[in-house]
Copies of this chain bind each other. A is one copy, B any other.
C-alpha cells in the first residue's frame, strides 16, 4: 500500500530512506551480527553512533566548544521541571507565555522559584508571539528568559531569537529544531523531544553551556543531574538506543539535503504555499495565527465552523491525507510540515484544499 500524506503534529512523518535504513539495522547493525535493538549501549559501535550524532548536531546547529549535547529520557515535559529544579533554586525567571507548552512549563517552574510571566498572548487565544523586546526589561536578578520557539497547538513561531539581556536564554525547540539555520551559540539551554523533526519518540535532546553545570544543585537524584549525564556521555543508564541511532541517521540525512540552509528554504517554501492557499481562498479558509507569528511547522486554520472542519478532516483522510485535525485544546485544522514532509504532500494538500473549496466543502 502506498504511504499516506502525513500531516500529523508529532510523532510525525520521517524520511523514507532513513526508515529503510532502520528496517535493515533492526536485523543487522554495523556488521555486528546483532540487530540495532540487541547491542549494548556500551559497545564501541554504539559509542561511535553517539559521537557521530553529536558531531553532526554541532555542525548543523553551529554549536561552540562550551556546549554539551545530551540525549536524555522523559520528553520535553521532564525538562519543564528538571531545568528550574536544577537552575532556579528559589531565584527568579522570566517566561514568555505563547501557549499550552509554556503554560505547563510555567506551572512546573513555580515549584522552584519566582516566575515572572513577562508577556502572554493567552487573552487572544495565543494567536501570536511577541516582537523582539515587547516584554520590556526583566527584573533585576532574573536568572533566565524562557520561551518556546514554536507552538504546535496555536501554530505560532518566533522568527528571531529573543534577547535575554543579562539573563540566560532557555529555549524549548521541540517542534522546530533543525528546521532552519540556527546560531546555536546564543542559547544557554536548548531542549526538545526529537519526535517531530528528528526521529521517533523516546529521546530528549538537551544542549547546554558548560558554565551552567556549576550553578546546579548537586544534591539532586543522580538521574536529574545534568553533570552526571555529561560525565557519562548520555550513557549513565541505558538510554533509548534506537532513538539516538535515528538522530545520527537523521542528521546525516539533513546534511545530505544540503544542511539547514537548504532545509530551511524548503520548509519556508512549503509553508508559504499553504499560507498562500489560505489567503487566496476568499475567506473560505481562515488562518488562525496573526501573520507575523505564523509557524512554518504547523499551519493552523479553519473553514469557519467545527462541522466544516470535521467534514474537511474526514474527506481528506479518504483522499489519503492524514493528521489534519487540530489539537483538541483549540480545535480547527492543522497541517504540520516537518522536515521529512515531502513537497508532494504539500502538492496533494493544496489540490485537496482547492477541490474542497470549489465543491465538496459547499455541499
Contacts and interface: CB of A to CB of B under 8 A. Distances in A.
Nearest to A219: B111
Identical subunits present: 2
Nearest to A243: B202
Given A38-B11, A201-B238, A223 B77 contact: yes
B33 A4 contact: yes
Nearest to A76: B237
A59 interface: no
Nearest to A9: B40
Interface in A36-82: 37-41, 73-78, 80-81
Contacts of A239: 75, 201-202
B78 A223 contact: yes
Interface residues of A, number: 66
Nearest to A12: B38
A108 B237 CA distance: 14
A305 interface: no
Interface stretch (A24-32, A127-135, A290-298, A307-315): A24-32
B201 A11 contact: no
A284 B22 CA distance: 42
Contacts of A223: 74-75, 77-78, 80-81
A3 B35 CA distance: 8
Contact of A221 (B22, B108, B195, B243): B108
B238 A193 contact: yes
Nearest to A195: B238
Nearest to A43: B8
Contacts of A182: none
B3 A33 contact: yes
Given A27-B23, A238-B195, A323 B40 contact: yes
Closest 6 CB pairs of A and B: A4-B33, A202-B240, A81-B221, A37-B200, A77-B237, A73-B74
22 contacts: A1-B31, A1-B33, A4-B34, A6-B34, A8-B34, A8-B38, A10-B238, A11-B37, A12-B38, A13-B38, A14-B38, A23-B27, A33-B320, A33-B322, A73-B75, A74-B223, A78-B237, A81-B224, A107-B222, A108-B222, A200-B242, A202-B241
